[in-house]
Structures are given as C-alpha cells and as structure tokens.
Amino acid sequence: MLKGATCGSSVKGTTGFTNAALDPAGNVLTQLTARNCATTSNIGTYGLNYGLTNDPTRSDYYKYNRTDKTTDFSYARLQSQLGGGLSLDNRVYMYAYTNNTLTGNAGTAVTGFSGAGTPISPYVAVLAPATDVLGYYKGNKYRVLGYIGQLTYEFAFGKIRAGGWYEHAATDRSRRDIDRTTGLTSYGQKFNNGNGTAAQNALPGIGLANYAYLQHSNWTQYQLFAEFEFRPFDSLSITPGVKYVHFTRGIDAVVNQTTRLPLNTSATWTKTLPFLTVNWQPTNNWSFYGQYAQGMYVPDLSSFYSASGSLSTALDALRPQTTTNYQIGSVWHGDKISLDVDAYLIDVNNKIGTCTTVGCDTSLLVNIGTVKYKGVEGQIGLMPLPGLSFFANGSYNYAHSAATGAQTAKSPFATAAAGMVYKHDGLRVSFSQKFTGTQYANEFNGSPLVRLYRIAPYSTGEFAVSQQVGSHFRIGMSVSNVFNSRAITAIANSSSGAPTVTVGTTTYQNGYGQSDQFNFLPPRSFQVDVRLTF
C-alpha cells in the first residue's frame, strides 16, 4: 500500500469541521474520501500516487530514502518412535531479520556546538545551512532461537500429548541523525548542555546528541502444554487441554526511544490458559465442531517508553490482554457443493491502550477495559464441472468496546469474497474479488456529536493464470487490483490544526487534522513468474 500521504485541509467550515469533512454541497461527512485535500498537501500536490519525489531539496527525494532488509531461517527436526504407543518430536529453529534504512526527515541539521558546556557557557547548537536536508539512519535487527518438544502417547481411546516451547529473542535498534545533503552527522537531539539543571543532567551527553534512540531489548518465554484427545467412538473426539505461559520482556537502553533517557528494566507476565475442542461427524459428509480457549497478548516494547516517574508502578499494574474465545460451526459437502458456517464470540479483558481521563499520563500504557467481538461467517463452494470451482464467503463482525459501546478501530463491520478456479492439463486460472466493509481508523473519542475517521467499504480483485510445461517448467502471470481501485485502506489521524468543540466540560476533536496521513490501495500491477524445478 502507498502510505504517508497527507491530505490536510485548506478551509474550516462554519460547522467547525475541516473542509475535508464536507461533501461538495457542504454537508458534513464522517466517511473520508480524500476528495477535498488541501492543494498544499502531499495528495493535493502529487496525487494519490505520492510516495517520493525527484527534488533533492526535499526530504522525500528518492535518493535520500532507501531500505535494505535481509532475513535468514534455519530449522531442524528429529522424530522418534519409542515403541508402546510413545513417540517424540523435537524441533529447533533460528531466524533473524535486519533492516537498514536511510531516509529524509523534516527539521534542520546541526553541524556542531559552540560554548564550553558549563553553567556559565552552556553548549549551543550550530545549525547547518537552511538548504541542507535532515535525515537519519535507522537500524533494526533481531535474532530468535527456539525449541519445541512434544511427547505423544497413543492408545485405544485416543492420544495424550505433552510438551513445551522455549524461545529467546534479542533485538538491537537505533536511529542516528545525519545531514543528507552532506552525508555528515547531525546533532539535533536533546542532550545535556551543561547548564547544571536536573532536567539537563538526566539527558545523555553531547556524544549521543546524534541518536534519537540506542537500545537493546530481549524477551524470553516458555510455554508448557498438555492435552488429551479422547475418542469414545469413531465419530466423536473431545480434546481438553491446558497451557502455561511465562513471558519476560526486558530493555537495556543507553538512549531510550521517545524519552531519550537511559533505562534498564524488565517485566514478567504469566497466565494459565485452558482450552477444549469437540468434533462430531455423524455422517461421512457432515460434521460439527465447538471450541473454547483462553488466550493472552503481552504488552509490547512500547510499554517501556514512558518517561513518567511512575513507570515502574505502571508496569507492575499492567496486565496481559486476555481473551476468552468460543466458536461453533458445521461443515457439509456433497458431490458438487460444500457449505461451511460458524459463529464466534470473543471477550477481551484488560485491553491495552492509553488512558483518556483528563490529566492522566497518556505516555503510559494501561488496561482500559473490555471489548466484545462476535460474528457469523459462512462459505459455499460449487464444482459444476471437473476442474472448475466457484466459491463465495462472507462475515458479519461486531466489535464493541464495553466502555463506549462503539465499534473498535480497524474492525470492519463485514467482509466478503467471491471467485473461481479452473484447472486442466497443467493450466490454472483463478480470479477472486475481496470486499472489506466499513470501518473506523481510530478509536471513538466519546463525542456525542460525530464519530470521525470512518473509512468507506472497498474491494480489490486478483487474477492469475499459469501453465505447466512438462514436469520441470511453469510460466504464469498475475494481476493485482484488477479494477484499479484507489480506495483508502487506513488513516493515521492527527489533531494538528483540527477544530474542537466543548460539550459540558469536555473538549473533543470535531473535525479532521491537517497532518492526517492516508493509505491507499496501490494501482493495478502485473507480475510474470517463471519457475524451474529440478
């Protein structure tokens, strides 16, 4: 997806909404279309295909922006039959990721400092020429090592499985400022200028004024599990089980992200998670199933980014985001048709977010309440002729916050897809059209007047054709976004320049910001694929 294109606004209407929130007749819109973007915004200047420019005086010059990524993955597995119904499965793995990014950035480069770094003569930044373009180098690399072991005992009435999973990950992240025009280092970050105040003394020294952050982090987790697959008779299986999760996340930052302060700490979260699955197949072509499970999501690395003096207390109080999941469904298939339908209910507790109470520390992650997800899903498949099949599926999704009663962000009210596949004598042709229903880009702010950042439904088509030639050669072509839709898929909202309204004693954002960033579906694209196997 194309991303980072600002829309902004040029006029504020009398309603208090920005011009981007009005249709051509002046009626208020809560569903954004990017039709009325300011002429000075990225979209207004460069159109929907905005990404980079060929202007070396701008930070979005294409030669200033480059990303190189590399990955590796290793895997080994040993399976052993021990006799007497016992078997052992051992798997070890290792993978890594490296991201080296050079990019332009808004701001002014700093070439050095004047002053002696004393209370009488603190350091003062020496600015580069205003024509120089600021930028930065960002490094992000991690390596993960893991082991999964499972012991299985099989007997007349089912199977017993028990085992564990261990994983350790280490990550190094940094962002170093540079002058993209000259290629020299820029020293524009906050640092201890030597004036002697407590606030300055807490900052890193002058030698780190070029780093926005310089941090090492890690996690270590282990999970122990056991389950019993019980088969009282051939058509029924009942599988209860339990899993214990122990997760420790730590950070050791010389310069921590966001705060630029040093931080060396860790936090541990644990949870016991039961589950149950029931499968019943009364006939050869019809089955029913039910599932119950508990899950957890541990706080991510950003939970360590706050500079608040109450960070340690907040981490102690921060609980994993947990879920309780229920699902029932049925699958039926005939000679030429198949049907699948299910319903689900997910209760989310301890949802992780930022507090919305006036005066609270919004830099701290906290548990903000519960969310209920529920919905129905269905799919039909049809094979009218040998080699030719059609399919269609759809879902309705309810995802409401218990606190606000509103649909949560990035949760489409509905999804659907339809398509076909044809296979014959090495020829394969497929087409699918996927639909994403209405959704909101951000969480509801509680305003009784309007909910902003509603994204219109959109769909995109995918077409592919390939031909196998002999047993070792295949050639194919695919088309993405067949109908060239340029729909909005996500919005990073900003309150900058947005109008507000006060209802009672509470002030709400009441229109769209001038720095809102839109993601669009990329234009139609083609790809040719040639494969040789041996």
pLDDT tens-digit series, residues 461-488? 999 999 999 889 999 999 999 999 999 9
Share of the chain above pLDDT 70, in %: 90
- Of 270-274, 435-439, 512-516, the poorest mean pLDDT is in 512-516
Residue 22 pLDDT greater than 50, yes or no = no
Q: How confident is the model at residue 404 (pLDDT cuts 50, 70, 90)?
A: confident
Q: Which of 35-39, 86-90, 132-136, 397-401 has the lowest mean pLDDT?
A: 35-39
Please state, in angstroms and rounded to a whole number, the distance separating the CA atoms of residues 438 and 417.
15
Indicate whether 95 pLDDT > 80.
Answer: yes
| Mean of all residue pLDDT scores within the chain | 88
Neighbour count for residue 300 (Cβ, 10 Å): 12
Choice among 93-102, 161-170, 256-265, 322-331 with the minimum mean pLDDT: 256-265
Burial zone of 467 (CB within 10 Å; 0-12 exposed, 13-18 middle, 19+ buried) = middle
SS3 content of the chain, % helix, strand, coil (to 5): 5, 60, 35
Residue 382 has pLDDT above 70, yes or no: yes
Can you name the residues that pair with 396 across neighbouring β-strands? 376, 414
Confidence of residue 406 (pLDDT cuts 50, 70, 90): confident
Please tell me the distance from the alpha carbon of residue 40 to that of residue 307, in angstroms, as a whole number. Answer: 36
> Could you tell me which residues are beta bridge partners of residue 93?
75, 146
pLDDT tens readout for residues 147-172: 999 999 999 889 999 999 999 999 99
More confident of the two residues 199 and 36: 199
324-360 confidence digits (pLDDT tens): 999 999 999 999 999 999 999 999 888 777 765 555 6
Q: What is the pLDDT of residue 182?
A: 94
Beta carbons of 237 and 229 less than 8 angstroms apart = yes
Please give the pLDDT value at position 309: 60
* Tens digit of each residue's pLDDT (9 = 90 or more) over 202-246: 899 999 999 999 999 999 999 999 999 999 988 999 999 999 999
**Of the listed ranges 7-11, 13-17, 28-32, 414-418, the one predicted with least confidence:** 13-17
Number of neighbours of residue 321 by Cβ within 10 angstroms: 19
Residue 134 has pLDDT above 60, yes or no: yes
State the Cα–Cα distance between residues 328 and 417, nearest whole angstrom. Answer: 21
Categorize the per-residue pLDDT at 98 as very low, low, confident or very high, splitting at 50, 70 and 90.
Answer: very high
pLDDT of amino acid 218: 96
> Which of the pair, 471 or 274, is modelled with greater confidence?
274
Nearest to 301 by CA among 282, 291, 315, 290: 315
Bridge partner residues of 464 (DSSP): 430, 478
pLDDT at residue 405 in the model: 86
4 pLDDT higher than 80: no
Which sign does the torsion angle of CA 363, 366, 368, 370 carry? positive
What the block records as the tokens of 221 is: 């987790």
Residue 316 vs residues 304, 311, 321, 356, 361: alpha-carbon distances, Å: 12, 9, 14, 20, 16
Residues, the chain: 534
Rounded distance between C-alpha atoms, residue 413 and residue 329, angstroms? 20
The H or E element that residue 313 is part of is helix 311-317
- Three-state SS string over 446-474 comes to CCCCCCCCEECCEEEEEEEEEEEECCCEE
Please say if the pLDDT value at position 32 is more than 50: yes
Domains of the chain: 55-369 (2.40.170.20)
User: Tokens at residue 287, please?
Assistant: 């089955």
Tokens representing 421? 């596949």
The single-letter DSSP state of residue 358 is T
Report field, pTM of the whole predicted structure over 0.85: no
**128: DSSP letter:** P
Q: Which of 430, 438, 434 is nearest to 417 (CA)?
A: 434
Predicted confidence band of residue 501 (pLDDT cuts 50, 70, 90): confident
Give the number of C-alpha atoms closer than 13 A to the C-alpha of residue 510, restricted to the C-beta side.
16
Amino acid at residue number 146: G
Question: In the chain, pLDDT over 90 holds for what percent of residues?
Answer: 64
Distance CA 372, CA 405 (A): 10
- At 21, is the pLDDT very low, low, confident or very high (cuts 50, 70, 90)? very low
**Which stretch of 233-242, 247-256, 368-377 has the lowest confidence by average pLDDT?**
368-377
